[in-house]
Amino acid sequence: NWAAQFAQYNQYNALVQGYSHRMFEWHSAFYIWKTSSPSPTLRGSLYDWYLATNGGYWGAKAGLSGGDPVRLIFNQRNWSLHVMNTLPKAFVGIAMRWTAHSLNGTRIGGETIPVPDQLNGNHVAHLEYKLPWIQSEQAIMPEELQNVLLYRMEVFYKD
């Protein structure tokens, strides 16, 4: 059952972040229709027959950054980063930090990237930055480490 929960988590996280990528340019909201299946299934729902939340709910919540008004969007199609502001006010001094770890816990690298301009209200800033190692065909990894990386990405701003 954990594999189905993990698949739902990734499915809804990618769905929410994918729609958020062009928010305020192509659309201003999105709606998930039929959040639960009428028959027992392992994928494609936010809750089960007993109204208990599953991986889909937590993936959607993670894609929305728990409701944080300024959040980071990771485009899985081209590995680019975007910062979204859902409030009507502008923010200045926003920074994004990422760290990469191998599966055995070794910290590979990390960097703090400032958002170049102010982030206007109801806007998505498309950063000219892509995460290293992933977008290239050859990974720049030491031999003793696995070629799978776990990324942690955080966004910082002053309210």
Q: What letter would DSSP give residue 105?
A: S
Look over the chain and give the mean of its residue pLDDT values, rounded to a whole number. Answer: 81
Nearest to 115 by CA among 123, 107, 103, 105: 123
Q: Are 112 and 76 in contact (CB under 8 A)?
A: no
**61's tokens:** 């919540």
The predicted-structure confidence for 72-104, as pLDDT tens digits, reads as follows: 888 877 778 889 998 899 999 899 998 888 777
Non-local (6+) Cβ contacts of 77 within 8 A are none
pTM: 0.75
What's the order of all strands across the beta sheet hosting 80-85?
70-75, 80-85, 123-130
How far is residue 20's CA from residue 142's CA, in Å, rounded to a whole number?
Answer: 35
CA 159, CA 156: separation in Å to the nearest integer?
A: 10
Could you give the CA distance from residue 96 to residue 31 in angstroms, rounded to a whole number? Answer: 28
Q: Check pLDDT > 70 for residue 137.
A: no
pLDDT score recorded for residue 135? 42
pLDDT tens per residue across span 48-77: 878 888 888 999 998 888 778 898 888 877
3 has pLDDT over 50: yes
